[in-house]
């Protein structure tokens, strides 16, 4: 078993070694999401590129959530959301 690396919460500075998805102190999500394929992982792994598709378009899950909310408001979310890369299969 690989030992988890210690890291600080980017918002409140809480030190953690766990596999938690959110900071128990301030509720900040500790997840990075690939803006292209939607894969996610803990931010402290510090990947520069998506391990699933190689994209460098990485976003914070908070941003991803905001984006989703905005799209929902605009009514863009729906069957268009399941299409990958905008290409019809």
Is 34 near Zn ion (CB under 5 A)? yes
- Given a contact cutoff of 8 angstroms between Cβ atoms, the answer to whether 38 and 57 are in contact is no
Is 25 near Zn ion (CB under 5 A)? yes
Is 53 near Zn ion (CB under 5 A)? yes
Of 36 and 60, CB closest to Zn ion? 36
Binding region for Zn ion (CB under 5 A): 9, 11-12, 14, 23, 25-26, 28, 34, 36-37, 39, 50, 52-53, 55
């Amino acid at each position: 078993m690989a030992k988890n690396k210690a890291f600080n919460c980017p918002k409140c500075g809480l030190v953690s070694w766990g596999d938690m998805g959110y900071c128990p102190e301030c509720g900040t999500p500790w997840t990075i999401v690939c803006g292209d394929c939607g894969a996610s992982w803990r931010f402290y792994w510090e990947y520069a590129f998506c391990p699933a598709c190689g994209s460098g378009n990485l976003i914070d899950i908070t941003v991803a959530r905001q984006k989703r909310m905005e799209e929902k408001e605009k009514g863009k979310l729906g069957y268009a959301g399941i299409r990958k890369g905008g290409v019809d299969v």
